[in-house]
Amino acid sequence: MVAPRRRPPGTRIWTIRADPGTRVRTVSGSTPRVFVARLAGVPVFDPNGDRVGKVRDVVISLLTGSRPPRVLGLIVEVPPRRRIFLPIGRVHSFDAKQVVVSGLVNLRRFEKRTSETLVIAELLDRTVTLQDATTAQVKDVGIEPTRTRDWDVTHLFVKRGGGGFRRRAETLIVPWPEVSSLQPDGATQGAEELLSNFDGLRAADIAGLLQDLPSGRRDQVAASMEDHRLAEVLEELPEDDQVEILSALDLERAADVLEEMEPDDATDLVSELDPQLAEMLLQRMEADDAADIRRLLTYEDDTAGGMMTSEPVILSPDATVADALARVRDVDLSPALASQVYVVRPPLESPTGRYLGTAHFQALLREPPSSLVSSVTDQDLEAIGPATPLDRVARYFATYNLAAAPVVDENDHLLGAVTVDDLLDHMLPEDWREDDHEDEAPGHG
């Protein structure tokens, strides 16, 4: 028997109630079978139609014996990016577009117990042995309500075959009793199906989901990501997780991922690695990328030089406004970096030639496309030096209402730019991505 989750004293909760006369469709009127992977990202509403959050996973208990696995509840993400546990008894209806819940909702951050299994994170792509002694990979998991209004895992959607000569893969829905064994988590487990559930998610959301995975599964999923996507996700993870994931990759792959990261984020990560490993990775990186990181490593962490990126938008004086607008349209640029263009004398790679001024995005929009970008530069905005401490950088941003600021050396060579997100990252506590303040949670009356 699975012990119920108890609410710790003082834990904040939501009370989700229906107004008098509100009709709530119960699970008995829901679709008889629900496939879990299709629930990922589905919005969760209370009976009045107010949005509570979105489904991230389903928690089950893999029981021994003949009884099928029991559904314990849902993992629901509520603002701001907190994943909470919602008991299955609070769910009134499922469908492909929404989940409706009511009752008391514990806002305490979900922490997985050893007896619990996450369907999307841990069951998808697992290998199962069927009663006919063949093996298959789990692609989805079907759950259904019981007569007692509990929910059980009743079917697996699996892919079988396709690995040998002239063997064609087939997909089939298998009743749970026909599954004779389930291989341990991580054993011959791929990541294809889980990664498909990441499509359309922001890097920060994927980072949050990875943090909930067991370390072995997390490293396995990270290793299956494309270099650029993994680089984006690493930038959103706490430093300890970054180090563990990167250290689990082979050296060539780790170097490739570092090259895809923003130089300031890559520098922060390299500074946390074992010095011997860091040097091995830098030697395997492209020379220009490694040089950027080595230069940034020379600055103190809480200074403008330690926070800046060495790859802002840089243009020569003869570039046009049209050239500048084309550059800031780059989808890979953060909004903060896209807010300014820096005009310099050649060379255009940092450290550049003499810094001439900053062209703000709004000023560019007001000028004819054929105008020279140098004609709209703000020359009254003084740049900051790389040794400028964190508190002075913060006051500088607040004084001039900036989203980014240029950093130059004593000879007026542009070294890079500090963005407001870099500034906040250094002002917040080191564990801010992990810290979960209960008193900051949203409430429902």
Spell out the domains of the chain, with CATH numbers in brackets: 13-118 (2.30.30.240), 120-182 (2.40.10), 203-298 (1.10.220.30), 314-427 (3.10.580.10)
Supply 423's token pair. 């500034």
Average pLDDT over residues 337-354: 96
pLDDT at 10 over 50: no
In this prediction, residue 41 carries a pLDDT of: 87
Closest residue by Cα to residue 220 from 261, 248, 260, 252: 248
In this prediction, residue 164 carries a pLDDT of: 55
Phi, psi of 219, deg, nearest 5: -65, -35
Q: Tell me the C-alpha distance between 115 and 418, whole Å.
A: 46
Where helices occur in 286-438 by DSSP H, the ranges are 287-296, 304-307, 321-328, 361-365, 390-400, 420-427
Supply 433's token pair. 């991505």
Average pLDDT over residues 395-424: 95
* CB proximity list for 276: less than 8 A, separation 6 or greater: none
3-state secondary structure of 179: strand
* Residue 299 contacts residue 273 (beta carbons within 8 Å): no
Question: pLDDT for 376-394, tens place per residue?
Answer: 999 888 899 999 999 999 9
In this prediction, residue 433 carries a pLDDT of: 63
Question: pLDDT for 282-318, tens place per residue?
Answer: 999 999 999 999 999 999 999 999 999 999 999 999 9
pLDDT at 256 over 60: yes
Choice among 124-133, 212-221, 235-244, 359-368 with the minimum mean pLDDT: 212-221
In this prediction, residue 431 carries a pLDDT of: 67
pTM, two decimals, is 0.74
* Better-predicted residue by pLDDT, 443 or 145: 145
